[in-house]
Every structure is written in C-alpha cells, then in structure tokens.
Structure 1
C-alpha cells in the first residue's frame, strides 16, 4: 500500500453559513472562517473542507451555483477568500473546495442562455426532452420531492433536475460542458486550493434513453438505477483526472450515493486514475424505512458492524476509505449513533470518535462534532430552513402518507438542519456565532455545550479529538493497518483489530448505556500491552474486561 499525505490527514468540514458571522448580519462568512483558523489548527487537523461559497441564489444553501468564479456577497469577497487561503496555508492547513458540477443554478449564465431557444449555442449544456404522452419525459422523482422534470413554456420542453427545480442538471455528454468544468477547476487549482470534495459526482452520467423508474409505492419512479454510477461516469472522471487532477498534488473525495464496493474500487483505485476516495452512504442509511430516511427508527449495531467491516476489508489494498458519521446532510452523530442525554453525551461522543478515527481511511470531522454538538429538536416546522425538509414535510403529510406529528419526530431525528444550526463558540447570546439573530436558530443547549468551555477542560470532547488526531500522526498502524472484526455476534460491543508491520491494535467499543463484558485475546494480555486511549480513566486491563456505558478502549502492542 502506497503511503500518501492525504491518507494520513484528518479533514475538518466547515459549513460557512453556520460557522462564524464576522459582520453581524446573522450569516456566517469567509472572514469568520479566517478568524477561527487558529482554533482548527489547535484541534490538530490537516485539511479544511469548505462547503460552497460561490455566487448563488441559495435555493439549496449554495449548492445551486450561478457563478463558479465569484464569491456570494453575503459570504464576502474574492480578496477575503484569498486572505483566508493564505492564512490557512501559513498555519500549515490545506483547503479543499466543494465542487458542484452535476447541476448549476437556473440563474447561471449557461442556463439563462440554454432556456432562450432550442437553437441557442448553450441549449445542449443541459438535458432537455419533449413530453411523453402529454406528460413528463419519464416518471423520475427529484431528491427534494416532486417530479425531476420542469416544463418550460417558451420552448415547450422539459429540463431535468435531480434536485430542486432551480438546479438543472448539466449534460456531461457534451464535450463543451466538460471542458468548461475542467477549465474552472484548473482556475481554482492555480489559485492555490488543495483539492475538491465533489458533490453527487456519481450522478453525472445518465442512461440516455431515460427509461421510467420503478414506482415502489411512492408518487414518483425511482430513476437512480439510470443515473447513479451511470454508463460513462468513470470515463468522465478519468478525463477530469488527466486534464486537471493529475497536474496538482490534491486531495479529492467524491460524494457517491448508491456506490457499491466494486464501483468504489474504480473511483478510488490505488493507481489514482480517478479520485483519492469516495463518501459512501451505506452506514448512514441503516434504519431507513418505507419513506427513506424519514423514520425515527434507531440504527442496528449488528448491521453497523457488518457495513463498516465490509468497507474496511473489501477496499483493503485496493482503494481508500473516507471515514465519517456526520456532515451537513446528516443529523448530529452523537444524537444518531450515540446518546445525547446529559449523562452520556460526552462519553458516547468520544466513543464514536474512537470508532471512526481508529479505522483505515481518512477521517472527516464536521464542525461542532469535536464538541459533541447535538440535534436541534426544533418543535415547529417554521423553525426549519432546509428545502429538502420543507418540501418533503409538505409532500408526505398532504398525501396522507404520514401524520404531521409523526413527520416532525422524523425531522427531529434525521433532518439536515440538525447539522446546520450555528456553531457554538461560547455561552453568550447566539452562542458567540453572531451578535444578531442568526439565519437559523441556535441549539438551546449552547450555554452548556460550547468551544470556550471545552477548551478550558482537559477531559472535554475537544481535547479527546485532539488526542485521537495526534495518535494518527504518531502510529502508522492507525492509517495503514489491516482490519479484522472481533466479537462479531456481541450485541453491545463493536471490537476490531488492526495489524501493521508486527504491531497490533485492539479497539473495543461499548455502543450501549449498560455495562458490557468481553474476554480479551491472549495476545493483548501482559506487560507489553499499552492503553493508547480510553474515554474512561481506566487503570487496570484484565482478561475479562467489563466496559462501562459507551466506553472506548484502544490497546496497542
């Protein structure tokens, strides 16, 4: 296995709108990021991933881009971006940008031209189709609810949008589109950024016959078999790699919904012909039900062990893993996979961090995760801002598929705004994020959970993350070691072994609020065994170890 800097790195994700407001307008901005880079450096991470700051009407919080080479005014200016980039580099931090090229905004210059007439030079930059039997070209549903097709009266045709109707899909079949995208990427690389996180990159190639999708009891057909890991996706990414990525020393990660092991090995192969790694979603989809993620059902530990182990063992030596439990599209990890009750929040947040950071792959920390920030649990739909949440609430409740009360519980458990409440910096009003009311409400628990309080305390979640990150830099076994699942059938414990160069690690995690017992393998008994990290102050290691609620224990030979 080749050693690479990005395999040994830890990435910190910033959602700019919710990170730090420097100019008192209630919205986070680029200067706010610059102000807090020292904090990120203190945590010990190597790379900062910044969610979109490009010019955008913000129908989907900036994932609908109207100009790839301009900064959205409410986030600041390009000069402020350059200052932020220089400051990060001065601190030894690399910066990766969100690349959103499956779709643009309908306010992008290309789409404005494309929609003018059927013979406009930009017409073929997007996917236009005629009506079929007086209806949409096919029955596909959009990810944010409704049909994936929007009718355009002027040209009497429909355009495809796999997300919001204000996010028309680009036509990657068109060489000119690809060349425009590659030129724009190269422009950012020359500016000095260090890589890209590629939004829904597994969706850029569509089956060109656009067949109907299965209905599966919903209102719309599931088109995903025809646009996820599509027929030319690897060809497009290899072209991107040849024309742009291979010319720079970058870190690249592709968001790849619906990716299989076989596909991931192509996307993130060791020869680096496409990307460094992908985000897969199998583990964060555990517990999904008839209405997809809109459920209050908890994850199943046996299933989690199975999924995580599959990705660890089947990519071993063939492709690289990305490691995460939370991001801007997921609920808070401590609420989803741990226990956010007061007595267990910190210890379970540390346990989850240990689980992820001791695996093979590159760990990603989402802003506030290093503090153990929790779901917001807003109880009124009016408090939510996310387009997906608001559209699906309306669609599912008005169609009678679920009651409003039940839907609110699902949103509290799984809605994307849980991750988007303002970063909790201190216990002052608005959590030190802003001096005015923010664009979305602050989580009510900010007086108790905030960075200022945690930085003062040696046993805080922040300090624990710091130690995990430091260990990854000290021990090659952590990024590179082979993985083996232990105690496969244990109902409470997730345990795994890592091996590298005659060194061994044993990671033992209690995923429950009850004590759990496990018999240690003989090789991990004796004086030569060292406890690398534990979220309880454990002094004695015995053959039959009894783990405390949510205890994490890492033993090293």
Structure 2
C-alpha cells in the first residue's frame, strides 16, 4: 500500500516546494539586491513550473553576517527587502495564483545585534538567561571542547560579563536557550504572528541544533565511520567530533511537538537536519502527525546524487520522512558539482528527485540549468566560503542572482549593480528556458507526472543497484511503476518487462546515457 502522510489543510500530501533566496531573485528598486516586490513580480515563472508552494529564505531585520540567518528582529522586514505591506501583497498574490507560502524560522540563535543579546552584555540577567552563558574553567579556557559547525570553537569570550557565550555557528549568532520559557513564549508568538499574516507553513532552520545536554560534557572524538557521516567536508574540525552532547539529546525530538502546537495542525512544517549522525533516522523520528511533515538532510547532495546514496536513504527510512533535493542556498549548484553542466544532466537530477516518495525541494535557478558560478575571493562575502578559501562549500556561488532576460543589462535582474557579479552563460535566462524544449518546461512535465501518477505519495523499493545505475519498484495510489536511473556514460536496455517509458529525461535508443525513465509495471 502506498504511504499516505497526514494532510495539512488543503496542502497536497507530498508537495513540490520552490525555495526563493530573496536577495537574489529579482530587484525592483535598483539597489542591486532582490526584494519582496521582485518575488511578487516573478511569481508567474514559479507558477508555470507547477510547484505547490514557495519557501522564502529570511527577509527579517539582519546585519547579514550570515546571509540573513543572523536575525536581529524576527517579526519585521529588513528595509532592503521592503515592508510588511509588501509581504502581505506577496502572500495575497501567491494565494491567488494557487501557491502556498512557507517562510524560514530561525529559532536556534539570534544576531549578536539583537536587543536581547545587547542587554545581556549590559548586565540584564533576564536577557542573559535567554542565551547560553558559562563561566570559564579555572585556567580561563572555554567550558568544554565543543566546536561550531563552521569549525572554530563554539565559545566566545565577552570581557564585560567575564563569561563565554555559546554559538553553534558564527560568533555573531549566539545560541538561544530553547528550554527557557520566555524564549519559547516569544517563539510561539512570532510563529502565530506570521500565521496571522497568511503564512501556510514554515521551514525550521537547523532544528537538530535546538537542544544540548545540560551536563555540557566534552564530545568524544569521532571514529572514521562517524566522521564520514557528519555533515560537512572532513577537513572541517567539526567533523572530528561525535556530537552526542551538543546536539539534540534526549528530549530534542519531542521538541518538534512544540513547533506543531505553535504552528497549528493545518501548517506544513519542514525541518533542516544539521547533524550528519543518524540523519535519515532522525528525519523519520521527527516526522509524525504531531511533529514535522518532513525533514531534509545533506546525504544526497553531499554524495552527488549517486544511485547508492539513493539506495542508502531508502534503506534507512522506516517511512518516507526525508525530502528530496540537490541544491539550496547552503549548497553549491549540483549541476556543476554532481553533473557536467549540461541540460541533459539537469533533467536527470530533476527526474530522480521527482520520482521518489516524499516532498521535492527545488532551489531557484536549478530549473534554468544554472551552473555553479566562479567567484574571486574579493567578490565573495560568505563567511564559511572565506574561512576555507578556496576550498569552502561554495554557498555564495549558489546565491548569485538568477538571470531573467538574456541580452538585458544584468540579465534583467536589476537596473543597478548586482550584489554579486552575474556571468551566466548564454541560454540560461528564464525567458529562454520557458519554451517546450527548455529545462524549465521539463520541470513542468515532472510536476504534472507527480500529480498524475501519485509519485510523491508512493513507496519505493530497490530492484537493481550498481555504482552508476538504480532501478526502483514504485507503488503509488495511482498504480505500480518501474523507474530506471542511469548515471553512466553508456546506454542500457529498458528494464525487463517494460515497454516504452511513460516519461524519460531525454530520448534515445533504450535508456540513454545519463538519463532517467518512468515505466508502468
């Protein structure tokens, strides 16, 4: 029987969600940065793809030390993006066009410019209790060996308080104490505030980082097999630890029930798994009718979307709990990292995500077959990319503004100077990809196929597997299917017992090289 997740209001059971990084989507003011009105103007393109919802990355008040994920005011719009009225117009327009609206919620930390943190530094004990302050060891060193996920120590000294504060990311992103009742109450009211403004769901940033063991014991060293599973490049010191005390201990999974209670039963909730340890298993544990609707992990993109990575994820799921994706604001564009940059490979990776049970996350521009841009050190502003330059993850490249009109100044993104340089190859703009032969048009075929055949609501079992090939048996509410995904440079015959495919990523004899196909079974 096909897996049927709980329906949330009038959300589809396994939605296709299009992530928009607002600073890089479309600019209407000439500032060189995208804005909320630019999203509203560009919704026709998103609607044409046939997706169910948009997820908007942070647009809140922020000094932008970490791309907007260092929030100084969770309930107001950063002026660079517009006004609350602009946001309300965006939501109204999206709803009229049949799109649900999800926004980010960054609950784990604030900016160090947040009024709470500034008051804590000035000696306000109530505000200090909302963060994680600890005295130094007798020798003046940090309370324990915990590292930030970017690699440096997770403790920064503040001379005014003569204490260390904890931060799981940048020093400018002090971690909140999510067990603090005042923090919980503020989070509940801010979530309800955005629901009152028409928001249909939320993506929760780094929700596996919310809680830590109050004992604050040192993390043990990671064994080689654990290090390989910790999210991030293995030259980052963070991967050298087994994160058993600083991430999601004990009651962490049940904390997702609070998020459900705060958001309401009809909101669709997506969580980011920021721990590589038991990532898929955590995604399943955090996904339930009274918790989140899905989580996403880095397993697939960090393994370049390979067939054995797909099989590994499916084998570790006791139910579909993981969303499928390849690129995001936090990952380099997969067409370059995992593919050869061709439209052919763009269709291959899109189709393999679309075939699998569960939600599908699409990052702005992947439907245009955008490659990963090259940026110089001088052009780069992302702190993680700069920390390991030139071997950082390439987050900034994924955030280069998307092209709208080929031949126009700055590809029609802005009348000013774009905040990152735009050196896109020809043939990638929105207005060039919308025709029947473009990659964007193929995305539309995939979203239609998911609805017609119930693919997102099915189950998948591995029927055949090799390093460069996977064959899946799919059972959905609409019938039984066979999927074949060929990563090799050689063609293959169609699977035994299968005739012509219902849908194929590109045509040729049999199953062509670097292609995927769906068959009735």
**TM-score when normalising by structure 1:** 0.85
Q: Mean alpha-carbon deviation: is it higher for 319-328 or for 57-66? A: 319-328
Say whether the 8 Å CA contact 2:45–2:430 is kept in structure 1: no
Say whether the 8 Å CA contact 2:307–2:468 is kept in structure 1: no
Say whether the 8 Å CA contact 1:145–1:392 is kept in structure 2: no
**Which of 387, 399, 406 is residue 383 of structure 2 equivalent to?**
387
C-alpha spacing 1:90/1:532, structure 2 compared with 1 (3 Å)? same
Match in the other structure for 2:185: 179
C-alpha spacing 1:521/1:21, structure 2 compared with 1 (3 Å)? same
C-alpha spacing 1:458/1:501, structure 2 compared with 1 (3 Å)? closer
Match in the other structure for 1:404: none
List aligned pairs for 1:72-471, cutoff 5 A: 72-117=78-123, 120-132=125-137, 133-214=139-220, 222=241, 224-242=243-261, 244-245=262-263, 247-258=264-275, 259-269=278-288, 272-286=289-303, 299=304, 304-315=306-317, 318-340=319-341, 345-378=342-375, 380-393=376-389, 408=390, 410-411=391-392, 414-427=393-406, 428-445=408-425, 447-455=426-434, 457-471=435-449
Aligned residue for 1:488, secondary structure, equals strand
C-alpha spacing 1:502/1:173, structure 2 compared with 1 (3 Å)? closer
**TM-score when normalising by structure 2:** 0.91
Say whether the 8 Å CA contact 1:510–1:550 is kept in structure 2: yes
Say whether the 8 Å CA contact 1:212–1:223 is kept in structure 2: no
Aligned CA-pair RMSD? 2.0
Alpha-carbon separation, structure 1, partners of 2:399 and 2:471 = 32
Higher relative contact order (CA 8 A, sep 6+): 2
Alpha-carbon separation, structure 1, partners of 2:478 and 2:45 = 36
Q: Deviations over 1:430-474 (max 9, x none)?
A: 1211122211111332x331111112x311100000000011111
Match in the other structure for 2:465: 488
Q: Deviations over 1:216-263 (max 9, x none)?
A: 697677373222222221232212323x23x34111110012253432
**CA apart distance, 1:150:** 1.1
C-alpha spacing 1:278/1:141, structure 2 compared with 1 (3 Å)? same
C-alpha spacing 1:223/1:315, structure 2 compared with 1 (3 Å)? closer
Q: Deviations over 1:186-219 (max 9, x none)?
A: 1111211001000001100011122223466976
Say whether the 8 Å CA contact 1:330–1:416 is kept in structure 2: yes
Alpha-carbon separation, structure 2, partners of 1:178 and 1:443 = 44
Q: Deviations over 1:132-181 (max 9, x none)?
A: 12111122222234221111111100100111111000001212211111
Alpha-carbon separation, structure 2, partners of 1:131 and 1:443 = 49
**CA apart distance, 1:487:** 2.4
Alpha-carbon separation, structure 1, partners of 2:243 and 2:494 = 45
Aligned residue for 2:26, secondary structure, equals coil
C-alpha spacing 1:485/1:149, structure 2 compared with 1 (3 Å)? same
Alpha-carbon separation, structure 1, partners of 2:20 and 2:300 = 22
**Which of 491, 497, 511 is residue 487 of structure 2 equivalent to?**
511
Say whether the 8 Å CA contact 1:338–1:511 is kept in structure 2: no
Match in the other structure for 2:226: none
Match in the other structure for 1:400: none
**CA apart distance, 1:485:** 1.4
C-alpha spacing 1:268/1:437, structure 2 compared with 1 (3 Å)? same
Match in the other structure for 2:28: 22
Unpaired segments ≥5 residues, structure 1? 287-298, 394-407
C-alpha spacing 1:57/1:384, structure 2 compared with 1 (3 Å)? same
Q: Deviations over 1:273-331 (max 9, x none)?
A: 11001111222233xxxxxxxxxxxx4x7xx3333223335435x34331101110111
Say whether the 8 Å CA contact 2:26–2:35 is kept in structure 1: yes
C-alpha spacing 1:421/1:535, structure 2 compared with 1 (3 Å)? same
Alpha-carbon separation, structure 1, partners of 2:101 and 2:328 = 17
Unpaired segments ≥5 residues, structure 2? 223-234
